[in-house]
Structure 1
Amino acid sequence: MKAMKNMGMNRMLGSLKRSKDSNEETGDPQLDTPEVNAARNIRSFCESGGPDGSGEEVLYLPAIVEAAESSPGAAKECAYHIRKYLSKDNFSKPYIQYNAIMLIRILTDNPGKTFTRNIDVKFIQTVKELLRTGRDPSVKQLLMETLITFTRDKADDETLAPLIEMWKKEQEKMVKLAASFQVHEPSSLRP
């Protein structure tokens, strides 16, 4: 009888205990580093904003910024994971790419150069590929607006210089391409 009461009590207490998510701290200090927190929260932020999203992705932003500010290694992890979310592997999930671009905007301001110094050649190549071959117009629009903002407001940030330079070259190519596709009006219609 006493065993039955204990079993009932254990069942009740078990249902009240919070079940641990596979990503939550398990007592291992290696799993609670700024780098791990940054990677986990970036994944949660980027993947939670789907078509049926409830807007909960903003809950992950403070932890991402805090991790990137607290450790250069975490800022490097942020750049790495954002690059992965911008890649062509996510062309079919534009909300993931959109959220990754939002993170670029946020982390470029805060922690700033701690993050932007990790924008490397691979990162720039991924951004260029998204500009050229990205499928979703809202993602491309946000990316172009972000790059325009960087060109205007962050031109003095030497860590962003290679990204801004790539953007300027891509802009020139876009202008030339648009000019080559313009239909010229026939000379008989000119005044």
Structure 2
Amino acid sequence: MRIVLLGDSHLARVRRDRARLAPPGADVVNAAVGGAVASELVPQAVAAGVGPDDVLVVSIGSNDAAPWKQVHLDTMAACIDDFLARTPRRALVYVVPPGVDEAGLTGPGDRTDAVVTAYADAAAERFGAAGATLVHARDLLAPLGAAAFADDAVHLTGAGYDLLLPAIREAVAQTAGRPAT
């Protein structure tokens, strides 16, 4: 089995811990890129050589919600629909973004938790309708509060990943047994 990580920094930062996402013998390919938005999913999948036997794990939406990216919500949704229509896969897991720790944000005009949530919900609706297993990062990380987030209030800490990675692994195991899409 091959597990391919696509999307933004929430998965791009999973480097040394890739083995924690897969059963023994599975190959984990990390094609996610920090700062990625939904329009980059298809190019990432193509670059990774995604095929119909792959289990895809996707995290997208946090950067689409960033004011400096200026990705309209409808544009993000259309890019996700395009990705879902064009990308072959055996199974799909969507990691719903955890939001941000607003108390730790430093500048005016930064992302807000409400805006990130709106983008996360729109993406989760699209992925869920396509049969993806959803991993709700916000719910998983809630017990940690601000300790789930790094100093930039957006990225996750080691403690955050300690809760998130086992949930992704479980979702991959559940979806891997599903018929090919």
TM-score (norm 1): 0.32
TM-score (norm 2): 0.33
- The structure showing larger relative contact order (alpha-carbon pairs under 8 Å, at least 6 residues apart) is 2
Name the one with the larger helix percent: 1
Larger gyration radius, structure 1 or structure 2: 1
Name the one with the larger strand percent: 2
